[in-house]
């Protein structure tokens, strides 16, 4: 997976190996992170008067999705261009 970002003076590409993506899924779906995510953001959401809780992330659901995405190399997932010229593109 490749993440490309273009701004006015900056242009860079970040390759994200699937192994790193799987590690990130494992970390984000850990009980510790899920239990504390709402606690860490509670004060900010109260100040902004937002009623939001982070949904539970199920690792067993996400891993097969990532495994299947590996079969679609070159597919563009995100292609966003802002009015100020900033571009973000995520490609498998």
pLDDT in tens, 38-69: 788 888 888 888 877 778 888 888 889 888 98
Give the confidence band of 8 by pLDDT, cuts at 50, 70, 90: confident
Question: If pLDDT is split at 50, 70 and 90, which confidence band does 16 have?
Answer: very high
What's the pLDDT score for residue 46? 82
Burial 18-56 (b: 16+ CB within 10 A, else e): eeebeeebeeebeeeeeeebeeeeeeeeeeeeeeeeeee
Nearest alpha carbon to residue 66 among 33, 7, 8, 20 = 20
Number of structural domains in the chain: 1
Q: Are 63 and 22 in contact (CB under 8 A)?
A: yes
Give the residue numbers spanning the domain of 59.
2-91
pLDDT, the chain, mean: 88
């Amino acid at each position: 997976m490749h993440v490309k970002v273009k701004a006015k003076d900056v242009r860079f590409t970040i390759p994200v190996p699937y192994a790193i993506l799987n590690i990130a899924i494992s970390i984000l779906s850990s009980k510790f992170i899920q239990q504390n995510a709402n606690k860490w953001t509670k004060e900010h959401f109260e100040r902004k008067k937002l009623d939001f809780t982070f949904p539970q992330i199920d690792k067993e659901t996400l891993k097969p999705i990532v495994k299947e995405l590996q079969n679609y190399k070159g597919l563009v997932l995100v292609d966003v261009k802002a009015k100020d010229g900033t571009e973000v593109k995520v490609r498998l």
